[in-house]
Structure 1
Amino acid sequence: MFLTELVFFAIADQIIKDPIRRDEFLAVCLLDLDKFKEINDKLGHQMGDKAIQTTSHTIVEALNIDMFEKWSFTERAVRDKFSIAGRLGGDEYIMLIRGQKNMENVISLLQYILTKLNAVQIGELSGINASLGVTAVTGDDKDMDAIYKRADEALYQSKKQGRNRITVG
């Protein structure tokens, strides 16, 4: 289960504004499936749905997101310092990554996600390609607007540089 865009941004803003997080390394990542329309057009919408479900499951598993006790999820996400993810619609996802020491560790985690997606074999679907843009949350960041913009620009660079890659912005 993924957070809606509205809920994701509300929780992320709360985490970013939390004064206790100052010593914590945070990163925001946007992930967009490459050529998703082609999957739908060539393999059918059912296979497109499977690609979305598989991507969602891969992100949840990699970030170790526990949506158990949904009614207390927001409080636990802030208090227990775990990563959150949301679906922005269509084939685009957003992640607030916590629990990593630095950007190198975040990139390793994202590379794990990308490698798992590339290895997917479901019927005629041979691999799911994705472009990712990631940025660190700095002490100067006060809300998600600037952070989102940097991650989005990095995502654009991933697509521009040939897709199926991670770009840091």
Structure 2
Amino acid sequence: MHGYRVYVLHDDAERRQREQAHRWEASHDPLTGLANRRGFLAALNQLLSRPDRQDEPHAVAMLDLDFFKEVNDRAGHSAGDRLLQDIASLLLHRLRASDVVARLGGDEFAFILYDCDREHAADLLEGVRQQIAEHVMVCDSHPYHVTASIGIALLQAEDKLPQDVLDRADMRCYLAKHQGRNRLVTMA
């Protein structure tokens, strides 16, 4: 056997598919298919580390559904899950394909709107807010409505960590709820 080599070929497509599925599951919400908190923070971290991020404005927004607890309490968690899936689909169709849409948990969503100034972000998300307010989910012949409170923050030069901009967007989302819900707040 001197001078000969033995090669063993093995198809590892199944292993690669499993690894790909694990990577997807680590960064996506299984209920909605949207990015999860980990995937969202990774995308925001990547944006913050880009040397050219100052060349164009970028917006980060937080959205919290109003009255979602009532859907879960009255119609059950499966109806709540269905409503979250409806909202996720609405968000994906309403926002641009280049944007990051994530479900952070519960009824809280977040967005990265690339190359988007305050006015354009407000226009896009006002359309989202209106469409959510118009959405009706019927469960056991009972209609359920939710609305959305949304806070928008633009990336600033001093933002170094994802939490810097997320805190501003979250504070504005809280203000939208505090000011009566079903509204959008861009400035504190």
TM-score category by the smaller chain? 0.7 to 0.9
Quick one: distance in 2 between partners of 1:139 and 1:83?
20
Matches within 5 A, 1:141-152: 141-152=159-170
Across the aligned residues of Structure 1 and Structure 2, the Cα RMSD in angstroms comes to: 1.4
The amino acid of 1:52's aligned partner reads: L
1:103-144 Cα shifts (integer Å, max 9, x gaps): 111111001101111111221334321111111111221121
Highest RCO, 1 vs 2 (Cα 8 Å, sep ≥ 6): 1
Q: Does the alignment pair 1:88 with 2:104?
A: yes
Matches within 5 A, 1:5-84: 5-65=37-97, 82-84=98-100
Quick one: distance in 1 between partners of 2:161 and 2:39?
14
Aligned residue number for residue 24 of structure 2: none
The amino acid of 2:80's aligned partner reads: G
Aligned residue number for residue 132 of structure 1: 150
Quick one: distance in 1 between partners of 2:96 and 2:123?
15
Q: Report the TM-score when normalising by structure 2.
A: 0.76
Larger CA Rg, structure 1 vs 2: 2
Aligned residue number for residue 109 of structure 1: 124
Extract unaligned runs of 5+ from structure 1: 66-81
Identity of aligned residues (%): 32
Q: Does the alignment pair 1:118 with 2:152?
A: no
Quick one: distance in 1 between partners of 2:37 and 2:143?
28
Quick one: distance in 2 between partners of 1:25 and 1:42?
42
Contact 1:28/1:96 (<8 A) preserved: yes
SS at match of 1:109: helix
Cα distance, 1:17 vs structure 2: 1.5
Number of corresponding residues: 152
The amino acid of 2:39's aligned partner reads: V
Extract unaligned runs of 5+ from structure 2: 1-32
Q: Report the TM-score when normalising by structure 1.
A: 0.84
1:28-48 Cα shifts (integer Å, max 9, x gaps): 100011121111112222321
